[in-house]
A and B are shown apart, each in its own frame.
Chain A
């Protein structure tokens, strides 16, 4: 009995000391706001929560399904109410915009300790560090300039995957002559702009940088942009007449089943296609979209998490832990296998963990593109200019696709006018 009592007493005092110790030290907590409420993405985020808890944190999440704008609306009202969330999924220039409101937290300490500057792709670093300090952690890298080809149609007509836009047009002429649809497409502002990203980039990389990364209106009025619009017009002619009201998944299936020869879309296609039972190499091939300047090209899109200033030490500690969990190779592998993208760190080995051939090809091309200096960010996927410029540009591009009475010259001028109007 006595022994038992003494034991209880010791346990109690140990517990009390432990409680004292933890009270002195902050307990890492977080609440992450994101838009991945369903499917494999929700599962991937749940994995982030598990890893965060395994590392000693308390995990909470606010999943806002649907469009990014719902997340933005919630974020805005929280910030105006003086109740900034600890971590929010935001991307591209939005990071700089929120950074300029002076409400974001500084992650330099964690970043320096873990050497983020050495492992994150250079074009991405500038987005995560809008004014020289890390305010966001990148979760992945999506490649926008993929060209998916139907092996069935290529074999039937004995064609190779086109390398330049002239090759592409020549291939399309043959495919159309053989009675197939050349390009599978579903018209929407973002998908039309995705295609146009690849066209401008593939025709003139300097023009892409000036017009789409710096919003330079003179570049938009230049002959190069007119030529790019002319190429886009030609490509609309290679599409069938049902592009309006078709989703990107439907157009993907057209290419996968051999109804259409080519499909231009980002790497999320790989995840969806493989899930639907189509096979890389058998049903479809993945290559970079044509470039006229030779070499490797990579148009980048990335999801990231921005951290906002907190007053509660528990949440500040939680932000550091969450940032380092997101940047851990283990999480980057789990998350990106599910999403079809590749890790935002270039030092992860993709041959392990279930990455597909296309994803591995993506990383190889990314590295090649970094060393060749051809890596750019995607305008269509909100990685370059402010939303107001991007929105204005997408309106012009999608109108051009829908209305064949607009000439390439008019479109180039409208593009510049629309951007000038917003500045």
Chain B
């Protein structure tokens, strides 16, 4: 009798027990290491970690550095346009493929293919394409259009958009694949009902189908956001952060400060600021979903 109750109690607790290692690992990685980085950022660390308290001077120095300010702005511009652009192009491709086109799997493979290519290769190839002396401009000139001018990658104001374009090229196939799976899961009756009501196809997509698969958009956004925040190799291969510092992103600055310049404390401060940037996006979202859930609960209760 006691034996069986022990067994059943164990069976009850098994899910929790199984989750413990994961929880501990997640706690270590997310909370402990974040706090560790936070402490390093206010410590006296230079070449080697030094845990003595050193104050917030590194944050002040960081925010007076032009390169950091530019890179932080770039993070927001790049992050926003990269995510929105990839979602938009991805949805468009998914809807087009959803029209029962012929050779569908061929198209799907073609559009998904960029994701299989590493950022380094992507960056290098697009650098050749965008560079005035090896890419499009050269080709147009050789064809006889001497005045053709396409030098975005060497233009300080346009170079960031080259990075965004290349990022979207790389990620929109991924967005397409997930959204297409979502589109296929939508109940056919729903579409038929809308058709009977006399709605046009574009309107059905806009008002019925896409709204029903919104969780997929959230999932894609989260995945793309973390790509955006840790972007490093794409920029290094494409523009090396240039012209000047025009396309530098925070990850490059953190790496430089920590590993190249022996300024661990300032590098940690920069890493903390990246976390803050992420919080600026995530916290409002979590608040919003909580608020939504509460509203739902009230409606049903």
A-to-B contact residues, CB < 8 Å: 67-70, 72-73, 76, 79-80, 94, 97-98, 101, 187-188, 241-246, 386-388, 390-392, 395, 398-403, 414, 418, 421-422
CB pair A391 B256 closer than 8 Å: yes
B67 touches which of A70, A72, A188, A395 (Cβ 8 Å): A395
Nearest chain B residue, comparing its CB with the CB of A400: B244
CB pair A80 B132 closer than 8 Å: no
Give the chain B neighbours of A72 by CB distance below 8 A: 259-260, 262
Q: Given contacts A402-B156, A422-B61, is CB(A188)–CB(B240) below 8 Å?
A: yes
B32 within 8 A of A: no
Give the chain B neighbours of A244 by CB distance below 8 A: 131, 153-154, 159, 239, 242-243
Q: Given contacts A101-B48, A242-B133, A421-B61, is CB(A395)–CB(B261) below 8 Å?
A: no
Shortest beta-carbon distance, A303 to chain B, in Å? Answer: 17
**Interface residues of A, dominant DSSP:** helix
Give the chain A neighbours of B127 by CB distance below 8 A: 245
Give the chain A neighbours of B262 by CB distance below 8 A: 72, 94, 97, 386-388
Distance between Cα atoms of A50 and B244 in the complex (Å): 44
CB pair A241 B260 closer than 8 Å: no
Nearest chain A residue, comparing its CB with the CB of B68: A395
Q: List 16 A-B contacts (CB under 8 A).
A: A69-B256, A69-B259, A69-B260, A73-B259, A94-B262, A187-B242, A187-B243, A188-B240, A188-B242, A244-B131, A244-B153, A244-B239, A244-B242, A395-B245, A398-B244, A403-B244
Shortest beta-carbon distance, B262 to chain A, in Å? Answer: 5
B244 touches which of A97, A386, A401 (Cβ 8 Å): A401
A245 touches which of B154, B244, B260 (Cβ 8 Å): B154
Shortest beta-carbon distance, A422 to chain B, in Å? Answer: 7
Most chain-B CB neighbours within 10 Å: which of A68, A245, A399, A414?
Answer: A245
CB pair A403 B61 closer than 8 Å: no
Given contacts A245-B239, A392-B65, A398-B242, 12 further A-B contacts (CB under 8 A): A67-B260, A70-B259, A80-B48, A97-B262, A188-B240, A241-B154, A242-B131, A245-B153, A245-B242, A388-B262, A402-B156, A402-B243
What are the 10 tightest A-B residue pairs by CB atom distance, in nearest-first order? A402-B244, A402-B243, A69-B259, A399-B244, A244-B154, A242-B133, A387-B261, A69-B260, A388-B261, A391-B261
Shortest beta-carbon distance, A64 to chain B, in Å? Answer: 12
B132 touches which of A67, A241, A399, A400 (Cβ 8 Å): A241
CB pair A76 B48 closer than 8 Å: yes
Most chain-B CB neighbours within 10 Å: which of A67, A242, A401?
Answer: A242
Tell me the count of chain B residues lying within 8 A, CB to CB, of chain A.
32
Distance between Cα atoms of A392 and B260 in the complex (Å): 12
Nearest chain A residue, comparing its CB with the CB of B62: A421
Q: Digit string of B55-78 for contact with A (CB within 8 Å is 1, else 0)?
A: 000000100111100000000000
Distance between Cα atoms of A395 and B243 in the complex (Å): 11
B211 within 8 A of A: no
B260 touches which of A242, A391, A418, A421 (Cβ 8 Å): A391
Give the chain B neighbours of A241 by CB distance below 8 A: 132, 151, 154
Nearest chain B residue, comparing its CB with the CB of A68: B260
Distance between Cα atoms of A98 and B260 in the complex (Å): 14
Distance between Cα atoms of A79 and B245 in the complex (Å): 33
Give the chain B neighbours of A418 by CB distance below 8 A: 65
B231 within 8 A of A: no
Distance between Cα atoms of A400 and B133 in the complex (Å): 22
Give the chain B neighbours of A79 by CB distance below 8 A: 48
Give the chain A neighbours of B64 by CB distance below 8 A: 421
Distance between Cα atoms of A399 and B242 in the complex (Å): 9
Q: Digit string of B65-99 for contact with A (CB within 8 Å is 1, else 0)?
A: 11100000000000000000000000000000000
Nearest chain B residue, comparing its CB with the CB of A70: B259
Most chain-B CB neighbours within 10 Å: which of A246, A395, A401?
Answer: A395
Distance between Cα atoms of A101 and B239 in the complex (Å): 36
CB pair B263 A76 closer than 8 Å: no
CB pair B47 A403 closer than 8 Å: no
Q: Given contacts A79-B48, A188-B242, is CB(A242)–CB(B255) below 8 Å?
A: no
